[in-house]
Amino acid sequence: MEKRNLKANNFDKDNEIKKIQEDYLQEIKNDSGIIDSLIQPTEEPVNLELLAKEKNLQEALRLKNETKIKQGDRINYFMIDLDERLREISFKFPATKLIIELSEYGISSDGRLFLDLTKSVDLLIKNNLFINKFDIDEFYQDQIEGFGGFLIGLLRNPRKFIQDISER
- How many CB atoms neighbour CB 46 within 10 A? 12
Reported as half-sphere exposure (CB side, CA atoms, 13 A), residue 160 has a value of 7
Select from 35, 71, 70 the least CA-distant residue to 54. Answer: 35
| 74-80 vs 86-92, strand pairing mode | antiparallel
Task: Indicate whether this model's pTM tops 0.85.
Answer: no
Percent share of the chain, pLDDT over 70: 74
**Mean pLDDT for the stretch of residues 3-32:** 66
CA distance 55 to 61: 10
Q: What is the pLDDT of residues 46-98, one digit of tens each?
A: 788 999 999 998 998 888 888 788 899 999 999 999 999 999 999 999 988 88
